[in-house]
Amino acid sequence: MNSRKLARLIYPEFRFGRTDPEQALALVKLGVGGFCFYGGKASEVYETSRLLKAASETPLVIASDYENGAGQWVSGATELPSNMAIGASGSEALARRKGEITALEAKALGVDWIFAPVVDLASRPDNPIVNVRAYGEDRRLVSRLAGAYLSGVSSQGALSCLKHFPGHGATAADSHLALPVLEKSRHDLERDDLVPFAELAARADAVMAGHLLLPAYDENSPASFSREIIDGLLRKKLRYNGLVLTDALNMKAISDEGRAGVKAFQAGADILLYPEDPSALHEALVRAANDGLINAAAVEAALARQDAFARKLSLSRSSPPPLAVVRCPEHLAFNSEAAPACLAWARGEGAFALKPGETVGYLEPLTRREDWKGAAFAEELVRLGIRVEPFQPGCGMRLAAGVFSRPRAGTGSINMGAEEKAALEAAVAGAASSAVLAFGSPFVLNGLSPRPSAALCAFSALEDFQRAAARVLCGNVKAGGTMPVKLEDQL
C-alpha cells in the first residue's frame, strides 16, 4: 500500500514557538493530511499556513481549536465569549455571529477548519473539561444554538466539527489525564447527550470522537476506538456519512498511540489527530497495512471523505478575507454589544446595588492586588463613581468578589479548591453585604456557606464582560440572560 496514503490519515500539531518548521515540512513531504495549529501571532499563523500548503502535493487542511474565536489561541486576533455565555443569552443571532467572526478570522489567517462547536451538555458541575465550553445543560438549547453557530461558520467558508461524540458532559475525569467513563444507559444517552449530534450531524462538516468509555455500547474500547460506536452508532444508527476524526491521540486517556491509531482507523475514523510522534504513528499504520490489519478499500474510503471535505474549501480558498479583518473594530464591538444579554443572575437580583460615592471592597480569593484578573471590572466601577478598595472583613465593608475558574486542559480540576473556597466564604461572612461575580464557571457558587447576598454570572473573563458586570451592579444596564445550568441549593 502507498505509504503516502496512510500518512494522509494523520494530522499532527503545529505549536508556534515549539514546533520546528523544517520538521513540519518533512511531515508534509511524508504526506500528512493537515495540521492542528496552536498559538502564534497573526502574521506567523498566516505565513506558516501559506508555507505548508504550498509544499504539499495534496490539499493540506489547517485546523485549530478556535472554540472562542481565533483570539483564544492567536495573539492579535479576537477572543469571543464562551458558549455558556451565549447559552445564557439564548440568542441564535449571537451564536451565529460568533460563528461568522470566528470563521472570517480563521480564513484570513489561513486556517480552514474550526474544531467547534462543542455540543456536550453541561450536566455535571465537577466535569473538569466541559463546563463553560458547553452552551448549557438542556439538549434543546445546545442543539438550537450550536445549529446557529454552524450556520455562521459555513456562511464564511470555514469548516466545522461537532465534539465530543457521543457526549462528554456527564463525565468527571479530564481525558487529557485519564479515561473518563460515562455510566449511562442507552436510553438515557439517546434521550439526552446524543440529541445534539443526531440533530446536527447532517449539517456539520465533521464529528470528533471523544476518548471516553461508554459501557452501554462498548465495555472495552473508548468511543474513539470503538467500531460499535463510530461505525454502528454514528454511521449506521445516526446515518452520518461525513468525516470522523479522533480527539488528540496524545491524551493520557490512551496509552500506545500507534496501536490506538490503528484501532481508531479500524473503528471508522478518517483522521488521526495530534499524535505525540507522527512518524511513529505512520510506521505503525504501515506495519498494520503490511500485516493485513488495514485494508486498501478502507483507506480509499477515508481518503475519499477527506477529498470531499477539502473540496468544500476550493471556492473560499481563491479569495480569503484580508488579514485586516483579524481583530477589526467590528469584531471587537461584538463583545461589548453581546455582554449585557449574556450576563445572568444566579441569585439575589436587586439585593446588591452600588451608587456613585459608595465604597466597595474587591476580592479575588488568595490573589494579591497586583495579580487581580478583574482589573477591568474594578476600573469600570471607579469610572462609574464607586470607590474600590481591597476588601477588609469585619469593618462594615461591602464585598464584590470576582472568581475566574475555567476549564484548563490537563489540570483535572475546574472549580475552586478547598482553600480558595474557604477564603471566599470567610470574606462573605465578614462583609456587610456581598456579591460574587463568576467570570467563568458558574458552579463555583455551589455550596457556599454563608451564601452571598447576590451572585452574578458572566461565564467569561473578557474585559467587556467585566465592564458589563460592573454596570449591572450599578444599575446602568440589566443582566438580560437566564441561567443555562442549575446550581445547588437553588442559588
Question: Is residue 284 in a domain?
Answer: yes
How much is the pLDDT for 284? 96
Instruction: Please check whether residues 123 and 159 belong to one and the same domain.
Output: yes
Instruction: Please check whether residues 311 and 391 belong to one and the same domain.
Output: no
Task: Please name the amino acid found at residue 366.
Answer: L
Instruction: Please check whether residues 238 and 141 belong to one and the same domain.
Output: yes
Say what the alpha-carbon torsion angle 166, 129, 83, 423 is, to the nearest 10 degrees: 150
Instruction: Please check whether residues 11 and 95 belong to one and the same domain.
Output: yes
Question: Is residue 86 in a domain?
Answer: yes
* d(C-alpha 164, C-alpha 166), whole Å: 6
Give the domain CATH number at 470: 3.40.50.1700
CB atoms within 10 A of CB 369: 12
How much is the pLDDT for 175? 67
- Beta-carbon contacts of residue 416 (< 8 Å; ≥ 6 apart): 365, 403, 405, 424, 444
> Is-catalytic flag, 120?
no
CB 476 within 8 A of CB 107: no
Helix axes 92-109, 329-342, angle to 10 degrees: 150
The stretches of 320-407 forming alpha helices (DSSP H) are 329-342, 375-383
How much is the pLDDT for 491? 44
Question: Is residue 29 in a domain?
Answer: yes
How much is the pLDDT for 253? 53
Q: How many domains does the chain have?
A: 2
Instruction: Please check whether residues 254 and 358 belong to one and the same domain.
Output: no
How much is the pLDDT for 413? 60
Instruction: Please check whether residues 92 and 14 belong to one and the same domain.
Output: yes
Instruction: Please check whether residues 217 and 271 belong to one and the same domain.
Output: yes
Of the residues 263, 298, 325, the one at which a domain ends: 325
Give the domain CATH number at 276: 3.20.20.300
Question: Is residue 118 in a domain?
Answer: yes
Task: Find the catalytic residue in 192, 247, 270, 464.
Answer: 247
- Beta-carbon contacts of residue 322 (< 8 Å; ≥ 6 apart): 108
How far is the CA of 300 from the CAs of 32, 241, 291, 370, 434, in angstroms?
A: 15, 15, 18, 57, 62
Instruction: Please check whether residues 186 and 282 belong to one and the same domain.
Output: yes
Pairing of strands 399-403, 359-363: parallel
What the block records as the C-alpha cell of 339 is 455582554
SS3 333: helix
Task: Find the catalytic residue in 176, 211, 282, 331.
Answer: 176
Of the residues 299, 325, 351, the one at which a domain ends: 325
CB 141 within 8 A of CB 87: yes
Instruction: Please check whether residues 368 and 474 belong to one and the same domain.
Output: yes
**Distance between alpha carbon 344 and the CA centroid of its chain, in Å?**
21
Task: Find the domain containing 436 and state its range.
Answer: 343-490
- Beta-carbon contacts of residue 436 (< 8 Å; ≥ 6 apart): 401, 403, 424, 428, 444, 445, 448, 452, 454, 455, 456
Instruction: Please check whether residues 62 and 191 belong to one and the same domain.
Output: yes
Instruction: Please check whether residues 269 and 391 belong to one and the same domain.
Output: no
Question: Is residue 393 in a domain?
Answer: yes
> Is-catalytic flag, 282?
no
Instruction: Please check whether residues 268 and 389 belong to one and the same domain.
Output: no
In this structure, is the dihedral angle defined by the CA atoms of residues 469, 471, 473 and 476, taken in order, positive or negative? Answer: negative
- Beta-carbon contacts of residue 341 (< 8 Å; ≥ 6 apart): 89, 91, 94, 480, 481
Residue 234 phi, psi dihedral angles, 5° rounding: -75, -50
Question: Is residue 331 in a domain?
Answer: no
Mean pLDDT by 10 residues, the chain (491 residues): 94 98 98 98 98 96 98 98 98 98 98 98 90 97 98 97 94 76 94 98 96 94 95 97 94 73 96 95 97 96 96 74 97 98 97 98 96 97 98 96 80 75 97 98 95 98 98 98 88 44
